[in-house]
Amino acid sequence: MMTEKLFFRSDEDTDFMPIIPINENESELDRNLIVPDTLPILPLRNTVLFPGVVLPITVGRDKSIKAVNDAYKTDKLVGVVAQKDANIEEPEPGDLCQIGTVAKIVKLIKMPDGGTTIIIQGKKRFELLELLSDDPYFKASINLLADDEIPVTENFNAYVSTIKDLASQIIQLSPNLPTEASIILKNIENPSFLINFVSSNLNSELAEKQALLEIHDIHQRAERLISILQRELQFAELKDKVTNKTRTEIDKQQRDYFLQQQLKSIKDELGGDTNEREIAEMKKKAESKKWPEAAKLLFKSGVEKLERMHPSTPDYSVVYNHLDLMLDLPWLDYTADNYDLKNAKKVLDADHYGMSKIKTRILEYLAVLKLKGDMKSPILCFLGPPGIGKTSLGRSIAHAIGRKYVRVSLGGLHDESEIRGHRKTYIGAMPGRIVQSIRKCKSSNPVMILDEIDKIGNDFRGDPSSALLEVLDPEQNHTFYDNYLELEYDLSKVLFIATANNLQNIQPALRDRLEIIDLSGYAVEEKVEIARRHLLPKQKEAHGLAKVNFKLHDKVLEKIIEQYTRESGVRELDRQLASIMRYQAKELAMKNKLKPTVTGSDVEKILGQHRYSNEIYKTANMPGVAVGLAWTYVGGDILFIETILSDGKGELKLTGNLGNVMKESATTALSYLQANARKFDVNPEDFSKKNIHIHVPEGAVPKDGPSAGITMLTSLTSAFTGRKVKPFLAMTGEITLRGQVLPVGGIKEKILAAKRAGLKEIILCWQNEKDVNEIDSNFIKGVDFHYVKTMQQVIDLALV
């Protein structure tokens, strides 16, 4: 009975497997084995047979089959020798090794395919003396070699123990060898059989095994075997180290792959991979997208890159967001303009009262579009004080011409990337405000309000106003480049409308690109109309009083405007009306009824005592006090110029937080008066005996500009002559040392401020008459204008 075991041979191409006999002491019985001098020779192509070792051999050559069959019929003995070259199909006598092993055929098996398999056991070593014939198979005369004499020494026993240990270690390190093999090795007691068995199963070259077989001294053979085993052990350790390292990497890859496959299966159960679905949806959306060829090519390359990426990589979201932006942008999608000019005018008039200049400009733009079909949009800039409806007018224009409306607030902007966008390689990168707004409104020709363009920041962090130069230039904005989008975008169809309070704060290059349209403040009559048409209905709706009937007559509205507000726009008026509505809502909630009309006394009860009064202008002022008109970015205003004389040495003192230009105006006025003292009935000696103090009240408010020149001269002349300035009289104009009066700006705001203050007469330069003519005559009814060329005329008109 035999047990089949494969040991540390790992060559899978061998056609044999060693078998260990249960009775390893059979070698004792083989001593009496009678071996004839002539034996059939069986060449083995790829192995060496050692005494005591059992091998299954597949016999394929015709000569070998005949030799095996003949031997099996007689004494079952054959001489087994190894071929020097395993690749030779039909070996010659010179191709055979000289030392071989006598083998006994234990079993002969006929295979279904016609082949023959034999199980042979090595018996004794022999030397090949002479080949007697090679037909029908090799026959040779042999000389049996003496059996190994086992030395009984401590040294040899150590060799045997070392062989067992080395072989066991190799078995442990070789994953292809069963662990039971080491148990069998330890149980082999015959040293000769142990050496033969281990030698037979070496994973080494055939020539090395043959050399072991040819060593006659068992002591030397053991030494040689130990040397080979140590080399094999080193190789096995190195192989095991590499295998374990590779296995760790492969195990991680297999684990990741396994988890990915599980995740994919779960996603398939839920309706497919989300990322694949998203990419498929993107492609589908892109098919129906109208966009330029450059955008199409960039999108295609981006999708291809996205498909090659794993969703967990950091760049995946960057590429995905960029493609998503490209799909969201309208590109060549435009809304159809409404060319009905009458309807557009009706919409503009319904939304805003007055502002005829802007409405005319918009209607002109629409008319050209209607006739030509296409034109570059103008870049408009609405310039005016706060609260007059510049921003809301932009929404009204979009409504009138049937376009989308989008607003970009530029106040406090200090980073040019907010306009041009960040490069998408940065974490948290976004497109610029312009592209974001286009994306939001889903149209490439919206009305875009650039709100508060005069309040853009400009410091070490950047200058966004320079980035706006490209956006607001009709010759450049058809190829606007956004850093995040990485493509040129056509902004030429966008109707840009900028709003500003102060033109001086806009840098010259940007100002040059804007078509400035001045919006003046409202007259009292205009404010009454705006309150009646827009503010009252809005506040009633906001406070739940839309269905409650009560009235505020125009006179009451005028009282609120004149006594509780002092502004160019209507924001403060809106807040005062909201206070009245809150009071009315409280009354209705508590008493379930309201008075049908809100009277003037009701207004005083609700809003308190009036804050502003015109009585100050009606009182007879002392000599040296004149009323001037000033322009501020919030509209026109009234200012007093006060002059007082005291004994001294002719020093001039100026107070009231005055700017350099205003101080120079005071000096110029004094110099002119000194030069023309006798003409104005002033004693020239007074200039050296009197100290002069000019003060402009509201000292906390900074004041500057040349327009108070004639007012200062009037005040000085009044102080030196003792003649009072006419009541209800205001004036504005610049003076020269020759006594000429020069024109100034902000005329409409100044006149409306005078009208609000209740003044009746205004002195202006004759060149400002054209500015007065632009104002609606209904708004300046009751005000007399005096147009002058020289200071003599001013003094004659102003002093009593």
Active-site residue list: 707, 750
| CB proximity list for 339: less than 8 A, separation 6 or greater | 366, 369, 370
Alpha carbons 121 and 104: distance in angstroms, whole number: 5
Alpha carbons 102 and 661: distance in angstroms, whole number: 130
CA distances from 514 to 262, 337, 456, 457 (A): 62, 23, 15, 19
49 is written with which tokens? 């047979």
DSSP code per residue over 549-562: --B--HHHHHHHHH
Number of C-beta neighbours around residue 649 at 10 A: 8
766 is written with which tokens? 């004759």
- Strands 99-110, 635-647: pairing is unpaired
Residues forming beta bridges with residue 518, ordered by sequence position: 383
Phi, psi of 273 (to 5 degrees): -70, 125
What's the angle, vertex CA 662, arms to CA 658 and CA 668, rounded to 5? 135
Cβ-contact 524, 558 below 8 angstroms: yes
Closest CA to 751 of 734, 766, 767, 768: 768
DSSP code per residue over 559-578: HHHHHH---SSSHHHHHHHH
Element (H, E) at 529: helix 524-530
Alpha carbons 487 and 607: distance in angstroms, whole number: 57
Could you tell me if residue 426 is left (phi over 0), alpha (psi between -120 and 50 degrees) or otherwise beta? beta
Closest CA to 59 of 5, 122, 109: 109
| CB proximity list for 440: less than 8 A, separation 6 or greater | 406
The DSSP code for 387 is T
C-alpha radius of gyration, the chain, whole number: 56
Alpha carbons 129 and 17: distance in angstroms, whole number: 29
381 is written with which tokens? 């800039």
The tokens 């016999």 sit on which residue?
Answer: 59
Residues forming beta bridges with residue 495, ordered by sequence position: 447
The tokens 């009138």 sit on which residue?
Answer: 400
- Burial zone of 499 (CB within 10 Å; 0-12 exposed, 13-18 middle, 19+ buried): buried
The tokens 């994306």 sit on which residue?
Answer: 439
The tokens 């002591």 sit on which residue?
Answer: 219
Element (H, E) at 628: strand 625-632
Phi, psi of 521 (to 5 degrees): -70, 170
Alpha carbons 411 and 45: distance in angstroms, whole number: 94
| CB proximity list for 591: less than 8 A, separation 6 or greater | none
Give the alpha-carbon dihedral of 654, 658, 660, 665, to 10 degrees: -60
The DSSP code for 533 is I
Could you tell me if residue 728 is left (phi over 0), alpha (psi between -120 and 50 degrees) or otherwise beta? left
The DSSP code for 431 is -
